[in-house]
Amino acid sequence: MPRSFFRNTTAVFLLCTVVFAAVRAYHIGVERRSLRADAMELSQVTYGLFDPSEWKVIVSDILEKNVAEFHLTPENREQARKHIVTLMTDLLNEVEKVMQDRNKQKGFGGLVKNVMMDILVDVDDIRSGIPKYADLMLDYVNDPANKQEMQTFIIDQLNALGEKTEGLVDRSALNEVIARHGASDRASAMALIEPRIQRLKAEETRYLALMGIACLVLFVLAATSPKQQTVPLITTILASLAVLVAGLFLPMIDIEASIAEFSLTLIGEPITFTDQVLFYQSKSILEVVQVLFKDGDAALMVVAILVFSFSVLIPVSKLVLSMIALVRRRAPRAKLPYFLIFQAGKWSMADVLVVAIFMAFIGFNGVVNNQLAVLREYVSSVHVLTTNNSSLEVGFYLFTGYCLLGLACSVLVQRALAEPVQKVPAQSA
16-31 residue pLDDT tens: 999 999 999 999 999 9
Task: Decide if 32 contacts 102 (C-beta within 8 A).
Answer: no
Handedness of CA 397, 402, 405, 406 (dihedral sign): negative
Task: Decide if 36 contacts 197 (C-beta within 8 A).
Answer: yes
The residue with greater pLDDT, 377 or 42, is 42
What's the pLDDT at 359?
47
Give the C-alpha distances (Å, rounded to integers) separating 362 from 212, 350, 368.
Answer: 25, 19, 10
What's the pLDDT at 163?
66
Q: CA–CA separation, 83 vs 278, rounded Å? A: 44
Mean pLDDT computed over 290-302: 78
Q: What is the mean pLDDT of the chain?
A: 78
What's the pLDDT at 195?
94
Q: What is the CA 90 to chain-centroid distance, rounded?
A: 55
Share of the chain above pLDDT 70, in %: 74
Q: CA–CA separation, 308 vs 315, rounded Å? A: 10
Q: How confident is the model at residue 294 (pLDDT cuts 50, 70, 90)?
A: confident
User: Using one digit for the tens of pLDDT, what is the confidence trace for 92-150?
Assistant: 788 777 776 766 666 666 666 666 666 656 667 777 878 887 887 777 777 777 767 76
In the chain, count H helices and then E strands. Answer: 17, 4
What's the pLDDT at 362?
44
What's the pLDDT at 193?
94
Cα distance between the two ends of the chain: 51
What's the pLDDT at 385?
53
* pLDDT over threshold 50, residue 429: no
* pLDDT over threshold 90, residue 290: no
The most confident of 9-23, 78-92, 143-157, by mean pLDDT: 9-23
- Taking CB atoms within 8 Å and a gap of at least 24, the contacts of 72-79 are 72/138, 72/141, 72/142, 77/138, 77/142
Mean pLDDT computed over 271-299: 80
Side chain identity at residue 193, one-letter code: I
What's the pLDDT at 23?
95
Task: Decide if 232 contacts 6 (C-beta within 8 A).
Answer: no
* pLDDT over threshold 50, residue 282: yes
* Burial 277-300, CB ≥16 within 10 A → b, else e: bbebebbbbbbbbeebeeeeeeee
What's the pLDDT at 225?
85
Q: How confident is the model at residue 334 (pLDDT cuts 50, 70, 90)?
A: confident
Task: Decide if 84 contacts 195 (C-beta within 8 A).
Answer: no
Mean pLDDT computed over 305-326: 85
Task: Decide if 349 contacts 323 (C-beta within 8 A).
Answer: no
User: Using one digit for the tens of pLDDT, what is the confidence trace for 247-275?
Assistant: 989 988 787 777 777 787 777 778 888 88
* pLDDT over threshold 60, residue 369: no
What's the pLDDT at 121?
60
Lowest mean pLDDT among 52-61, 170-179, 180-189: 52-61
Question: Which DSSP helix (H) or strand (E) runs through 253?
Answer: strand 253-266
Task: Decide if 402 contacts 243 (C-beta within 8 A).
Answer: yes
The residue with greater pLDDT, 424 or 54, is 54
